[in-house]
Amino acid sequence: MHQSVSAIVIERQQQLDAVLHEISGLETVMDGIKNLHQQLVEKKDRITWSMNMHKGLISPLWRLPTEILSQIFDHCLPGEGSLLSPSTRRAPILLTGICRRWREVAVCLPSLWCRLYVEVHDSDWQRASFCYDSWLKRSRGCPLSLELNCVANDLTKLQSLFQPYIDQIIQSSSLRIHFYGETVQPELLLQDLPALQEVTMIILAHIDTSYIAQFISRLPSTLRSLTVTESFGVEHLSSCNSVLAHLTNLEIYIDHSNAFIHLLQLCPNLSSLKVCAVINQVQTLEPFTHTSIRSLRINFNSVYTRCISGLFDALSLPNLRVFEARYLRSWPHKEFKSFLVRSQCPLESLTFGSLRKMMTDEQRAKYVNLFPSIEVIVLHPLESTF
């Protein structure tokens, strides 16, 4: 009995070995088929790539004159105000990786390389400065628009980076600066900018208003557009009079209605004004008329702003065409309507944000009766961006 069972086990082992051998042979065949399939797929991809490339060579796109291709490249850049820093995923560097001709056109097109966002990091400055320098060389002497994101200990590095391009910086028409503290003195880097027309000051830390006013007062009289992302006290406005008097566009934070009126008095040529405002005092203001304002946008701080009727009682804007007001708990319809009637302005657009529950159809109709062709927009709170 024992010998019979042992013989069966030996026989089954022989059968198992034979099956395993067959499986191994089949797996070898399957691996070979898999490798062959992969080779064929890769060959198909190469043929497809080559076919598409050669089709592209006869496409009108590849026969576009350099002048037209250059204009297309210019439109590939992000809009004004957007950060423009070295990245292989975005234009203009992205354009240099498509093909040899596109790279040649892009590299030789100075307008693609005249805007630059510079951010200093101690740990990687050597690599970053090489990228920035390569970028700036491609601007080929054209005026530069810079955005600086730096702290006090970065000044030496930035001076070293910008020194070869100082003539282009002097011709600059646009400058954006991120302030991290009062120890940062970017004016020491860029003391003389006689062609400067646009400045944006992004305040990222608490800074005394007097320091901001001091910086603004040093800006040239060529300035036409100014943005300041920090509350600005009325007591410091007059020190900036020589700059404010020439502005046509202004974005600023103010802390009460008297500052609003005083600001308009100092900016007689202002055409567009965007204000973030906190008005929490009821004041009687002297009547004031500003004849140049065409666009007025006010973003009220709904937590601290209490009463704004006094502002509209004093103000007249006879040239106003666009008005926006956002983030306010209640709206002084009576005073605002009187302001419009008194101004006799050619209003074209009226936008309210976060006031859906506070404006009735009757109130909307009154504005339309005053200006039959006006567009009245009441935004939902989630739409009320500023």
Q: Is residue 57 located within the same domain as residue 100?
A: no
pLDDT on residue 152: 57
Residues sharing a CB contact under 8 Å with residue 250, sequence separation 6 or more, in sequence order: 225, 226, 227, 244, 263, 267, 270, 272, 273, 274
pLDDT on residue 385: 45
pLDDT on residue 158: 78
User: Quick check: 240 and 262 in contact, CB under 8 A?
Assistant: no
Instruction: Please state the domain count of the chain.
Output: 2
Q: What are phi and psi of 265, to 5 degrees?
A: -65, -35
Rg (CA), the chain: 33
Q: Is residue 2 located within the same domain as residue 44?
A: yes
Task: Write out the two tokens for 314.
Answer: 């004093």
Q: Is residue 8 located within the same domain as residue 42?
A: yes
Express each pLDDT in 198-233 by its tens digit: 888 887 766 677 777 878 888 888 899 999 887 666
Q: Is the pLDDT of residue 88 over 90?
A: no
Most confident of 89-103, 119-133, 275-289: 89-103
**Is 86 within the bounds of a domain?**
yes
Q: How crowded is residue 173: how many other Cβ atoms within 10 Å of its Cβ?
A: 17
How many residues are present in the chain? 386
Domain containing residue 95:
77-113
Q: Is the pLDDT of residue 82 over 80?
A: no
Q: Tell me the torsion sign for CA atoms 229, 235, 239, 241.
A: positive
Q: Is residue 8 located within the same domain as residue 44?
A: yes
Sort 6 into a burial class: Cβ within 10 Å, 0-12 / 13-18 / 19+. Answer: exposed
Express each pLDDT in 317-373 by its tens digit: 999 999 998 877 778 888 889 999 999 999 999 988 765 456 677 888 888 888 888
Domain boundary among 53, 88, 113: 113
Q: Is residue 81 located within the same domain as residue 59?
A: no
User: Considering the chain, what percentage of its residues have pLDDT values greater than 70?
Assistant: 81
* Confidence label for 382 from pLDDT (cuts 50, 70 and 90): very low
**Is 324 within the bounds of a domain?**
no
**Is 356 within the bounds of a domain?**
no
Q: Which helix (H) or strand (E) holds 56?
A: helix 2-57
Q: How crowded is residue 113: how many other Cβ atoms within 10 Å of its Cβ?
A: 21
Of 100-109, 232-241, 301-310, which range is least confident?
A: 301-310
**Is 300 within the bounds of a domain?**
no
Q: Is the pLDDT of residue 383 over 50?
A: no
**Is 44 within the bounds of a domain?**
yes
pLDDT on residue 233: 61
pLDDT on residue 120: 75
- pTM score, whole prediction: 0.72
**Is 27 within the bounds of a domain?**
yes
Higher pLDDT, 50 or 153: 50
Residues sharing a CB contact under 8 Å with residue 231, sequence separation 6 or more, in sequence order: 209, 253, 254, 255, 278
Q: What is the mean pLDDT of the chain?
A: 81
Mean pLDDT across 33-53: 86
pLDDT on residue 183: 52
Mean pLDDT across 257-283: 83
Q: Is residue 3 located within the same domain as residue 50?
A: yes
pLDDT on residue 105: 93
**Is 314 within the bounds of a domain?**
no
